[in-house]
Amino acid sequence: MPSNIPFAKQLLSWFDQHGRNHLPWQKDRSGYRVWVSEIMLQQTQVATVIPYFERFMLRFPRVENLAQADLDEVLSLWTGLGYYSRARNLHASAIAIAEQHQGVMPNNLEALIALKGIGRSTAGAIISQAFNQPGVILDGNVKRLLTRLHHIQGWPGLSHIDKQLWQLATNLTPQQRNADYSQAIMDLGATVCKPKQPLCVACPMQTHCQALDNDAVAQIPTPKPKKALPQKTVSVLLLKNAQGQIQLQQRPAKGIWGGLWSLPEFADLAALQAQLALDGLPINTQPLPAIKHVFSHYKLTIEPHLLELQKQPRKVAENEQSRWYDATQLHTIGLATPIKKLLENNQ
């Protein structure tokens, strides 16, 4: 395609017939609603995001509501969505918007990128979706579409390929119908130019697709070079007091499950028992079935051990990072998904 005009025209014509225009964040569209949806949609599919977005908006309809909320409540509404740094950044940025922008979502690229958790592509999506201004986006769906359209070989995460894709995305972005265009190019990637079994016969760009011409659609984009994921095993203590309450500890703000509540964690059973002995508690715990959980950079095996106390312990006291919770309170705090399931299965 010699210019952005034929591409945008064909894409928008397809979008008018086949695009998604009933998504919840497309209703009562505002900078805040678009921003929250874009953060939730990072590495998460639309179908998964929709109920989370609706619950989040019901509780935090305006940026000021989010800024004034306790982080625990924000994380509780994020539980199960994963990548919890997104929720922490969303909360921190809401506070910044309230304090630095009088509660009004910025509408320029530099101010948006200055906020935690907003990168160049997310900022472009907000600008185009919320303010109908030219905003360049390059999410995973768009990268896949462009690499196939131009038969670009090599992992898109490489800097020189990323630079090439940004230039292509910029050149293709039109000056009109920007909200529709950005939704259209994401929709085409998500619903037609899919990672597996793409619907090439339904693609409005099929006559221009170089990967299709070269019978290379299945090989493009080039996958990230695989590394064997390291494995880690930890022991956790499911400690119940005489009232049936469970001891939980809040994890550090940075790192895996940052800021979420979890069970006390130990390197192994011996370390767990040593701490119990130090606290003057019985060390004969009941092993529970191991839990497997895969992160992007390692595989985790959680070995839970149950200890039910017959009387209230003396030394296991509450503080800011360690508290007793009963089952009715668990929905009010942010919990790591494997831990939440473990607690639900052992109430």
SS (H, E, C) the chain: CCCHHHHHHHHHHHHHHHCCCCCHHHCCCCHHHHHHHHHHHCCCCHHHHHHHHHHHHHHCCCHHHHHHCCHHHHHHHHCCCCCCHHHHHHHHHHHHHHHHCCCCCCCCHHHHHCCCCCCHHHHHHHHHHHHCCCCCCCCHHHHHHHHHHCCCCCCCCCHHHHHHHHHHHHHHCCCCCHHHHHHHHHHHHHHHCCCCCCCHHHCCCHHHCHHHHCCCHHHCCCCCCCCCCCEEEEEEEEEECCCCCEEEEECCCCCCCCCCEECCEECCHHHHHHHHHHCCCCCCCEECCCEEEECCCCEEEEEEEEEECCCCCCCCCCECCEEEECHHHHHHCCECHHHHHHHHHCC
Q: 136-182 pLDDT, tens per residue?
A: 999 999 999 999 999 999 999 999 999 999 999 999 999 999 999 99
CB under 8 Å to 249, separation ≥6 — which residues? 261, 262, 263, 264, 265, 321, 322
Q: Which domains does the chain have, with CATH numbers?
A: 4-219 (1.10.340.30), 231-345 (3.90.79.10)
pLDDT at 312: 62
Predicted structure pTM score: 0.81
**pLDDT tens digits for the chain (347 residues)?**
434 568 999 999 999 999 988 899 998 889 999 999 999 999 888 999 999 999 999 999 999 999 999 999 999 999 888 889 999 999 999 999 999 999 999 999 999 999 999 999 999 999 999 999 999 999 999 999 999 999 999 999 999 999 999 999 999 999 999 999 999 999 999 999 999 999 999 999 999 999 999 999 999 999 988 888 899 999 999 998 888 889 999 888 888 888 889 999 999 999 999 999 998 888 889 999 999 988 878 889 999 999 988 876 555 555 567 888 888 888 888 888 888 888 888 87
pLDDT at 331: 82
Neighbours of 119 (CB within 10 A): 12
Label residues 81-95 b or e (16+ Cβ within 10 Å = b).
bbebbbbbbbbebbb
Q: 200-255 pLDDT, tens per residue?
A: 999 999 999 999 999 999 999 999 888 888 999 999 999 988 888 899 998 888 88
φ and ψ of 266, to 5 deg: -140, 155
Q: Which residues pair with 286 in a beta bridge?
A: 306
Query: Whose CA is closest to 290, among 229, 233, 343, 330?
Result: 233
pLDDT at 2: 39
Contact predicate 323/262, CB 8 Å: no
Residues identified as active-site: 38
